[in-house]
Amino acid sequence: MVVTVVTTSPFADQRPGTSGLRKRTPVFQQPHYLENFVQALLEEAALQAGQSLVIGGDGRYFNREAIGTIIRMAAANGITHVVVGRGGLLSTPAASHLIRQGAAGGIILSASHNPGGPDGDFGIKYNAGNGGPAPESFTNAVAARAAALTRYRVADLPPYDLDVLGRQPLGDVTLDVVDPVRAYADLMASLFDFDAIRALFARGFRMRMDSMHAITGPYAVEILERQLGAPEGTVINAVPLPDFGGGHPDPNLTYAHDLVEEMFGVHALDFGAASDGDGDRNMILGQRFFVTPSDSLAVLAANATLVPGYRGGLAGVARSMPTSAAVDAVAETLGIPCFETPTGWKFFGTLLDAGRITLCGEESFGTGSNHVREKDGLWAVLFWLNVIAARGESVEQIVRQHWATYGRNYYTRYDYEAVPSEAANGVMALLRSALAGLPGTSLGGRTVHAADDFAYTDPVDGSTSAKQGIRVLFTDGARIVYRLSGTGTEGATIRVYIESRETVPERLGMETAVALRELVDVALGLAEIVARTGRTEPTVIT
Ligand code: G1P
Ligand code: ZN
């Protein structure tokens, strides 16, 4: 095997964010850019001969070229076994599962829910042997290596074919091309009551799954249509495309428009769901009914014992700090611990590994469990189907009953995308300077109980993460949270999370926008959003 050592100079911007290194595609296509980062990553991962590396991506533009580069560099850096999904495809949760089946780590190519294509976004991240995103200590070390890199290694390999299943010996490295769906589908069948879900569809229950021309298409067709008997055509936008058909593959009320149109129209089906670019996010809809991701987590936690994989109960639950406290109420009733972590799935990893939690989730359409170490879109869909089959009730009935039992957390998130960084930093600086004076003051009829910049100490490994978002907590359980996105690629994105808690039965059925109107005004006023960003409306409201 001929290995070439290429002289290079470091790039200053190779610092991974909330979920890996994410940049505009042309940035990754610059000479040496991907190679530099991969070299830094492989050196830090330090896989030994005999260990396996999983590689796969969501199929977006540049996926295949990047995988080719990574295979050649892995070989040149002494890795002897790589496992790649056919066509270079693996959903993020399926990659996590494959890694957990015995690999030392994995490289996932995706920019998640960000648009793809020559002018879209691309991304790369490393998952460790537990199947989860590498912790901050690892990503910081990779960034430090990348900032000092002067050479990378790449091997000449004989021709190989990513579209052919099976083992291909390539000199010093062995390539295994695997079916991206099979192992994942088996895992789902081991967790959920497929017979009950099959019977549900056989009784005429109808759903729509919008795969948004992203990675879950083949997974959803196989599991929902082939294995569970949902009618052909249940899955729409099922063919993964390099540019996601020009869409924005983010499953929310704004971007999953095909699904939303149907599910809020006169011909709405019983159940609707969507997932994102790399298949780890989910949106759940009932007939003309939206389930907030925070509520979804709480409902799944409350109903977990109806599902075979969780029949023994939950060890604990966790949510990211900006996620509504709906699941906290369930945990309290169940008498199990509830952890509040910073934004980003990587913070759930230690808790899952230590067996302290079973379910976890984020308000950003992410839900998951200890079955893998990533959030998992289709898993959430199957969980809901299992609960619906077991309870024999509609999505809306299940959620309304949930509110009646546990109370309701009204919740909304305002995103201001592509704000000039200076203005966004100004907003955060203003809020930080106001923190000390807030407790005890009255805002929009509520009293501030505490205000801080969220800091977290991991209860398992003791690692700390500071400045994870500004929290304004009110005495009645309402909260306002502000933070800057760590996944955007253009300017800054300001996220404002607004939540109030309601337990009075007559006040559980309000429109969210009505219930939160005053609190939204308080939130935007406190941060001087309009004055400082010039934006009178957010880019997206979820
Ligand atoms: C966003 C979400 C966060 C999620 C991440 C990756 O990160 O807010 O919950 O874990 O995407 O999907 P952000 O852009 O806010 O840093
Ligand atoms: Zn994603």
CATH no. for residue 338?
Answer: 3.40.120.10
**CA–CA gap between residue 489 and residue 350 (Å, rounded):** 28
| Substitution site in 96, 292, 362, 494 for ligand 1 pocket (most atoms within 8 Å of beta carbon) | 362
pLDDT digits (tens, 9 = 90+) for 228-262: 999 999 999 999 999 999 989 999 988 998 999 99
- Which pLDDT score is estimated for 17? 78
Task: List the residue whose alpha carbon is closest to atom 15 of ligand 1.
Answer: 485
Atom of ligand 1 at shortest distance to CA of 18? 16
Q: Which of 542, 480, 488, 540 is closest to 513 using CA atoms?
A: 542
Say whether both 351 and 499 belong to one domain.
Answer: no
Say whether both 308 and 402 belong to one domain.
Answer: yes
Instruction: Please give the C-alpha separations between residue 172 and each of 87, 112, 534, in angstroms, as whole numbers.
Output: 22, 32, 57
| Closest ligand, as measured to the CA of 278 | 2
Task: List the residue whose alpha carbon is closest to atom 13 of ligand 1.
Answer: 485
Output the CA 343–ligand 1 centroid distance in Å: 6
When the pLDDT of each residue in the chain is averaged and rounded to a whole number, the result is 95
pLDDT digits (tens, 9 = 90+) for 356-365: 999 999 999 9
Atom of ligand 1 at shortest distance to CA of 483? 15
* Boundary residue ending a domain (406, 440, 461): 406
Say whether both 76 and 130 belong to one domain.
Answer: yes
> What is the per-residue DSSP string for 413-432?
EEEEEEE-HHHHHHHHHHHH
Count: domains in the chain: 3
| Closest ligand, as measured to the CA of 319 | 1
Say whether both 136 and 228 belong to one domain.
Answer: no
Say whether both 344 and 196 belong to one domain.
Answer: yes
* Boundary residue ending a domain (178, 209, 232): 178
Q: Which of 18, 13, 59, 58 is closest to 36 using CA atoms?
A: 13
Atom of ligand 1 at shortest distance to CA of 280? 12
pLDDT band for 224, please (50, 70, 90 cuts). Answer: very high
Output the CA 261–ligand 2 centroid distance in Å: 23
Output the CA 472–ligand 2 centroid distance in Å: 28
Ligand 1 proximity of 345 Cβ (cutoff 6 Å): yes
pLDDT band for 203, please (50, 70, 90 cuts). Answer: very high
pLDDT digits (tens, 9 = 90+) for 483-510: 999 876 678 999 999 999 999 999 999 9
**CA–CA gap between residue 360 and residue 330 (Å, rounded):** 13
Q: What is the mean pLDDT of residues 168-191?
A: 97
Say whether both 174 and 255 belong to one domain.
Answer: no
Look at residue 398 and tell me whether its pLDDT is greater than 90.
yes
- Which pLDDT score is estimated for 242? 95
| Closest ligand, as measured to the CA of 417 | 1
Say whether both 294 and 157 belong to one domain.
Answer: no
**CA–CA gap between residue 315 and residue 334 (Å, rounded):** 10
**Domain, as residue range, for 488:** 408-541
pLDDT band for 375, please (50, 70, 90 cuts). Answer: very high
DSSP single-letter state for residue 347: G
Output the CA 487–ligand 1 centroid distance in Å: 6
Q: What are φ and ψ of residue 88, in 5° steps? A: 80, 15
Say whether both 53 and 167 belong to one domain.
Answer: yes
Q: What are φ and ψ of residue 41, in 5° steps? A: -65, -45
What sections of 414-516 are H helices per DSSP? Answer: 421-434, 512-515
pLDDT digits (tens, 9 = 90+) for 45-54: 999 989 999 9
Say whether both 211 and 291 belong to one domain.
Answer: yes
Return the bridge partners of 196, or none: none
Instruction: Please give the C-alpha separations between residue 231 and each of 93, 203, 206, 235, 394, in angstroms, as whole numbers.
Output: 25, 12, 8, 9, 19
Kind of pairing between the strands at 446-453 and 442-443: antiparallel
Collapsing DSSP states into helix, strand and coil, what is residue 402?
helix
Q: Which of 167, 284, 273 is closest to 219 using CA atoms?
A: 273
Output the CA 508–ligand 2 centroid distance in Å: 31
Q: What are φ and ψ of residue 368, in 5° steps? A: -170, -175
Return the bridge partners of 17, or none: 20
Say whether both 204 and 315 belong to one domain.
Answer: yes
Say whether both 217 and 236 belong to one domain.
Answer: yes
Which CATH number does the domain housing residue 442 bear? 3.30.310.50
Say whether both 7 and 105 belong to one domain.
Answer: yes
Output the CA 109–ligand 2 centroid distance in Å: 11
CB 119 within 8 A of CB 246: no
What sections of 435-465 are H helices per DSSP? Answer: none
Look at residue 461 and tell me whether its pLDDT is greater than 80.
yes
Ligand 1 proximity of 364 Cβ (cutoff 6 Å): yes
As a whole-number percent, the residues of the chain with pLDDT over 90 amount to: 94
**Distance, CA of 196 to chain centre:** 28
Task: List the residue whose alpha carbon is closest to atom 5 of ligand 1.
Answer: 344
**CA–CA gap between residue 21 and residue 67 (Å, rounded):** 15
Helix or strand run (H / E) with residue 410:
strand 408-419
CB 109 within 8 A of CB 123: yes
Active-site entry in 96, 112, 294, 324 = 112
- Which pLDDT score is estimated for 489? 67
Helix pair angle (182-191, 377-391), 10° resolution: 30
- Which pLDDT score is estimated for 14? 92
Atom of ligand 1 at shortest distance to CA of 276? 12
**CA–CA gap between residue 411 and residue 497 (Å, rounded):** 8
Q: Is 190 a known active-site residue? A: no
The burial of 22, by beta-carbon neighbours within 10 Å (0-12 exposed, 13-18 middle, 19 or more buried), is given as buried
pLDDT digits (tens, 9 = 90+) for 1-37: 899 999 999 998 998 876 789 999 999 999 999 999 9
pLDDT band for 304, please (50, 70, 90 cuts). Answer: very high
- Which token pair is 342? 């910073």
Return the bridge partners of 281, or none: 366
Q: What are φ and ψ of residue 362, in 5° steps? A: -130, 155
* Boundary residue ending a domain (406, 432, 453): 406
| Substitution site in 252, 280, 294, 364 for ligand 1 pocket (most atoms within 8 Å of beta carbon) | 364
Place of tokens 């106001």: 434
Place of tokens 């993460």: 465
> What is the per-residue DSSP string for 127-168?
EETTSSBPPHHHHHHHHHHHHH--EEEEE------TTS-EEE
**Distance, CA of 68 to chain centre:** 25
The burial of 27, by beta-carbon neighbours within 10 Å (0-12 exposed, 13-18 middle, 19 or more buried), is given as middle
| Closest ligand, as measured to the CA of 482 | 1
Ligand 1 proximity of 19 Cβ (cutoff 6 Å): yes
Kind of pairing between the strands at 235-236 and 207-210: parallel
Hey, how many other C-beta atoms are within 10 angstroms of the C-beta on 148? Answer: 9
Planar angle of CA 527, 434, 344, nearest 5 degrees: 65
